Chain A
């Protein structure tokens, strides 16, 4: 599993990243 932390201000970026499978 690839894991990353995103700051709260980057929530939309986090969603895009996990969706890019």
Chain B
């Protein structure tokens, strides 16, 4: 499951939990797409404390979405990922 909400004028929170599937990514595109068209700077927080997994088709769809908006991601000046997984830190680094 995936939920997107604004927690401030310039901060968007994405919460991942359980297994993220292709439909979740469609929802992410719908919710986050318009925010990527804004003027920055904005902050993005990804909460993944209860995230278990992502399906292969969802992973591919998410990558396509990221690449399609590549020029717009810089609207987010800061991105925080909340997770106890050390692997997430390594990926960010």
Contacts and interface: CB of A to CB of B under 8 A. Distances in A.
B47 A3 contact: no
A4 B13 CA distance: 14
A3 B84 contact: no
Interface string A1-21: 111111110110011011111
12 contacts: A1-B73, A3-B81, A4-B80, A6-B81, A7-B84, A8-B82, A8-B83, A15-B45, A17-B43, A18-B43, A18-B44, A18-B80
A18 to B, nearest CB: 3
B78 A2 contact: yes
Contacts of B47: 11
